């Protein structure tokens, strides 16, 4: 008797049925349904006048060819490659036929209603199913967060807010970030920044992080962790976009070890805000519910292939909420 195997793909795109794992599939099982959860591809930094980036350094930031926060041309190209790769994998698994468009309604693409997520989904579909009429579904009003992908606090009680803040503070306490802050201060010349000269905020090492967990808002933090995440995120995007190395962090990052030290700030930001079990299960609830319907409760009527495109925060909270190991 043919048995059913359902694969849920979560993170960058991480497939449950990778080549190594596929070898462990019990004999007689046949893959029948796939769900992929991806973040958007390369975007421009969120750098505008008066932003954290502008306030944190006296240096001039390099210009991008798209507005802040939007998918870049290279990001679109990379997503086409990703789509092509996934098409080959799906064909190997017998989910689609090579050289043919999938039957209507067997592929469903759903993205958060921001430019970078919708465009990522469109480029993915172009790479995976070129010439096929497969729409990307999203909220009609662009530029606003779709509730399914919006990682906001859904419990309005004061008790939960206190619990969530305590959980985020606990995650932060696990991190050793002094070296990261010191290196970052040097790279951006923080003591000559507008933040220091105008607001007397002159030290990331000595700054205080303040967490918040307000109803219908994303988990938040103010202080050096937020500043550090914004700056390292911008440097990382410059690097992956292919900026000349003398423009990536103004040429001040000169070794892999420095990248490793700096990356602790970006990773620590995501981990602190979105990976504690208390917070993750709450903010990921709408997305978990959607996935549950697609793969469990409404499985018989769901598409064979579902493509979801959201954000880092979705993936970070989802991995914890689903207890991925």
Q: Is 155 a catalytic residue?
A: no
Catalytic residue, candidates 65, 311, 312, 323: 312
Q: Is 137 a catalytic residue?
A: no
Catalytic residue, candidates 40, 138, 233, 271: 40
Query: For residues 36 and 134, what is the distance between their CA atoms, to the nearest angstrom?
Result: 16
Q: What does DSSP assign to residue 188? A: H
Nearest to 190 by CA among 199, 180, 201: 201
Query: For residues 187 and 248, what is the distance between their CA atoms, to the nearest angstrom?
Result: 11
Alpha-helical runs (H) found in the chain: 19-22, 52-55, 73-92, 115-128, 158-173, 178-188, 194-199, 224-241, 256-274, 277-283, 285-292, 312-321
Query: For residues 302 and 29, what is the distance between their CA atoms, to the nearest angstrom?
Result: 19
Give the burial class of 279: count Cβ atoms within 10 A of its Cβ; 0-12 exposed, 13-18 middle, 19 or more buried.
buried
Residues 6+ apart with CB under 8 A from 259: 253
Residues 6+ apart with CB under 8 A from 249: 187, 235, 238
Residue pointed to by tokens 């709408």: 286
Report, as residue numbers or ranges, the catalytic residues. 40, 312
């Amino acid at each position: 008797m043919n048995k059913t195997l359902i694969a849920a793909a979560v993170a960058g795109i991480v497939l449950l049925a990778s080549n190594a794992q596929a070898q462990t599939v019990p004999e007689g099982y046949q893959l029948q349904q796939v769900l992929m959860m991806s973040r958007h591809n390369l975007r421009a930094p969120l750098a505008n006048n008066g932003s954290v980036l502008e306030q944190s350094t006296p240096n001039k930031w390099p210009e991008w060819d798209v507005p802040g926060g939007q998918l870049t041309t290279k990001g679109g190209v990379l997503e086409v490659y990703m789509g092509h790769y996934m098409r080959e994998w799906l064909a190997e698994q017998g989910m689609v036929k090579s050289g043919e468009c999938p039957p209507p309604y067997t592929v469903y693409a759903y993205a958060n209603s921001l430019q970078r997520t919708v465009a990522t989904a469109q480029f993915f579909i172009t790479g995976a199913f070129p010439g096929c009429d497969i729409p990307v579904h999203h909220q009609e009003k662009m530029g606003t967060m779709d509730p399914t992908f919006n990682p906001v606090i859904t419990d309005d009680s004061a008790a939960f807010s206190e619990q969530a803040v305590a959980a985020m503070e606990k995650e932060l306490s696990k991190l050793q970030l002094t070296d990261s802050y010191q290196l970052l201060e040097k790279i951006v010349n923080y003591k000559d920044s507008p933040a220091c000269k105008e607001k007397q905020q002159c030290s990331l090492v000595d700054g205080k992080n303040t967490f918040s967990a307000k109803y219908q808002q994303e988990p938040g933090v103010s202080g050096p962790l937020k500043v550090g995440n914004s700056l390292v995120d911008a440097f990382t995007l410059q690097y992956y976009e292919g900026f000349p190395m003398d423009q990536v962090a103004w040429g001040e990052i000169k070794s892999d070890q420095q990248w490793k030290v700096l990356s602790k700030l970006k990773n620590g930001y995501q981990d602190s805000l979105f990976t504690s079990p208390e917070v993750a299960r709450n903010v990921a609830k709408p997305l978990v519910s959607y996935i549950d319907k697609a793969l469990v409760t409404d499985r018989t009527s769901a598409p064979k292939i579902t493509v979801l495109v959201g954000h880092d925060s979705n993936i970070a909270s989802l991995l914890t909420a689903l207890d991925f190991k």
